[in-house]
Amino acid sequence: MGCLQGKEKEAEEAVVTELPESKPKQVDPRLPFDTYRQLFNLRNSWKTVARNLTETSKDCLIRYLKKYPEHKAMYRGCANLEDEEAMRASTSFENAAVPVFNLFDDVMENSENVDIAIAQIGMGATPHKKIKGFRTDYLKAMEEPFIEAVSVTLGDRFTDPTEQNFRKLYQFVIQEMIKALGGETPPEEPQVEADKESLPTDQEDVQIKL
């Protein structure tokens, strides 16, 4: 009996030793993360943001429009919202703010199926083509408001590595949006004001014609 038990134990040990070692998960090379651990940590952090998505979205857009009030007219129903309290209470403002974070939420849900994530980014970029005066550098300008809003939501959990992961996420999404929009908007040419002294006066103009 004891001999039989000993053989069974040896057989179990043999099975255990023959199991192949599990390989560490790899990150899709199209994503900006060096290790799967970075992506894993980001997804855990994003869960908190997702639970507070509406307020974080509003906070992000409020911060953005404080820095760039001239862009308020691009957001439907927001042009006449004068202060932060009015923005937070406005349904139009919420409808303008939330889709930004919904897109990031979709990307996070499909972070292991990058083809789907990139397709969703492309669909998220499409409405920007219809915005009069829109420039791709406006997307880049929202990075700091995005990071600041996320940091408020995460509080003490917003560490330096967490910040770097969120910046990588933001920059990845924005670069894919710019690709979907056909590339970056060319730089605006500075408007050169004409030198008044070099222009002919009405009197000079008359003399020339005579």
Q: DSSP labels for 63-111?
A: HHHHH-GGGGGGSTT-TT--SHHHHHH-HHHHHHHHHHHHHHHHHHHTT
| 109 closest CA partner among 98, 97, 121 | 121
What is the rounded distance in angstroms from the CA atom of residue 159 to the CA atom of residue 157? 6
pLDDT at residue number 23: 76
Cβ distance 74 to 130 under 8 Å?
no
Place of tokens 């090379």: 29
pLDDT at residue number 187: 76
pLDDT at residue number 199: 47
Residue 26 lies in a domain: no
Residue 158 lies in a domain: yes
pLDDT at residue number 198: 47
Residue 208 lies in a domain: no
pLDDT at residue number 161: 98
pLDDT at residue number 20: 60
Residue 76 lies in a domain: no
Q: The domain that contains 43 carries what CATH number?
A: 1.10.490.10
Residue 84 lies in a domain: no
pLDDT at residue number 194: 45
Residue 108 lies in a domain: yes
Number of folded domains that form the chain: 1
pLDDT at residue number 107: 98
Domain that holds residue 46: 36-53+98-180
Per-residue model confidence as pLDDT tens for the chain (210 residues): 555 555 555 555 555 555 566 677 889 999 999 999 999 999 999 999 999 999 999 999 999 999 999 898 888 888 888 889 999 999 999 999 999 999 999 999 999 999 999 999 999 999 988 888 889 999 999 999 999 999 999 999 999 999 999 999 999 999 999 999 999 888 766 555 544 444 454 544 433 333
What is the rounded distance in angstroms from the CA atom of residue 168 to the CA atom of residue 31? 9
Both structure tokens of 25? 């998960």
Residue 147 lies in a domain: yes
| 31 closest CA partner among 21, 43, 22, 14 | 43
Residue 135 lies in a domain: yes
